[in-house]
Amino acid sequence: MTNPIGADHLTPLYVYDDAERQTLIEEAAQLPSVEISSAAAANAVMLGGGYFTPLQGYMNVADALGCADNMHMTDGRFFPVPILNLVESVAEIEGAARIALRDPNVDGSPVIAIQQVDRIETVSDEQMALMTEKVYRTLDNEHPGVAAFNGHGRYAISGPIQVLNFSYFETDFPDTFRTAVQIRNEIEQRGWKRVVAFQTRNPMHLAHEELCHMAMDRLNCDGLVIHMLLGKLKPGDIPAEVRDDAIRTMVKLYFPENSAIVTGYGFDMLYAGPREAVLHAYFRQNMGASHFIIGRDHAGVGDYYGAFDAQTIFDEEVPQDALEIEIFRADHTAWSNKLNRVVMMNEAPDHSKEDFVLLSGTRVREMLSEGIAPPKEFSRPEVAEILIKYYQSL
């Protein structure tokens, strides 16, 4: 297994001791509180689970600007994106040394964490623009990540946190949500040494399934961690519970026993393309993966990023010694009618576009909505059946 980043062991910020956590819950009820953004709540979940080791809480503005500009905090530590607690108003917490952070994603906005207030800073428009441009490579407010990031407020509350729960992820996805600590422990229990991770925010069709098999074979891996995003997505994306059902069905039927585990993490998608790919690699190393699959337009949206920008950033911008995890660089995969199997398209130079089974996302959604299963060369029938039920329920 890979080592955690910048630490000898993971540093999850969830308070595991029951008595201590209960004391903190009682303290939180007496503290000044603020409802935080969905993104900040997701950051608390990731910090709580050890994924962001060795961070101890939310960044101050100087550290956030450094991470955005050159992926380093002011003390020289590597981190690929700002981790901020941005709020619209601090009127209720001014002067407080400790505050309760309330979760906007759970009914009643219960407290998700307690934060020590090191600083409250106002982020200028120029600073927001710099961070936005560096992380998202655009200032276009039509970009869902840009719109979300710039809609959180301008007051940055920095300081360490103590996490009291994992929001709705643990209750809504009890069989799938796992912390970095839990995944690292399971990898160790299974005796896996070389582990490849696969990121997904969508159901996995045949090409994704075969890409995972290719990576495992070529890297001589002992196991695969399918690690799906369970947090907030953009409108139109398939809900996590449907993806979970489809992926579990695929793994049960088409992967050998003890070769793959299906897990998920509580984070809101940034759609930040290359920068998000680096963040994805960062926390996959912390959870114990030795390799990470990055394909075309990883974590992208629209036409904001080049097809392979999420791969070349590791050559051009990530310091050589920053990450131990290795990247498996994949091209678009599709069924070849010539070879009767799924191939990476860049490994079939004698093929024309017509030699592949290619369907647009729009066409697939139309077919599923009409109760038509995509061809078996595109999607496993058992997966298609689950997706048809979902689309026809809309």
The tokens for 233 are 């997505």
Q: State the Cα–Cα distance between residues 129 and 132, nearest whole angstrom.
A: 5
- Beta-strand runs (E) in 331-386: 333-336, 341-344, 356-357
Q: State the Cα–Cα distance between residues 120 and 333, nearest whole angstrom.
A: 47
Q: State the Cα–Cα distance between residues 130 and 363, nearest whole angstrom.
A: 38
- State the burial class of residue 360 (Cβ atoms within 10 Å of its Cβ: 0-12, 13-18, 19+): exposed
Q: Are 277 and 328 in contact (CB under 8 A)?
A: no
The tokens for 23 are 């004391």
The tokens for 347 are 């490994």
Q: Count CB atoms within 10 A of the CB of residue 359.
A: 17
CA separation (Å) from 124 to 9, 43, 58, 139, 377?
36, 22, 18, 15, 52
Contacts of 215 (CB under 8 A, 6+ apart): 196, 198, 221, 224, 291, 293, 328, 330
Question: Which positions are annotated as active-site residues?
Answer: 201-202
Q: Are 215 and 342 in contact (CB under 8 A)?
A: no
Residues belonging to the chain: 394
| End-to-end alpha carbon distance in the chain | 43
Q: State the Cα–Cα distance between residues 258 and 180, nearest whole angstrom.
A: 19
Residues paired with residue 120 on neighbouring β-strands, in sequence order: 157
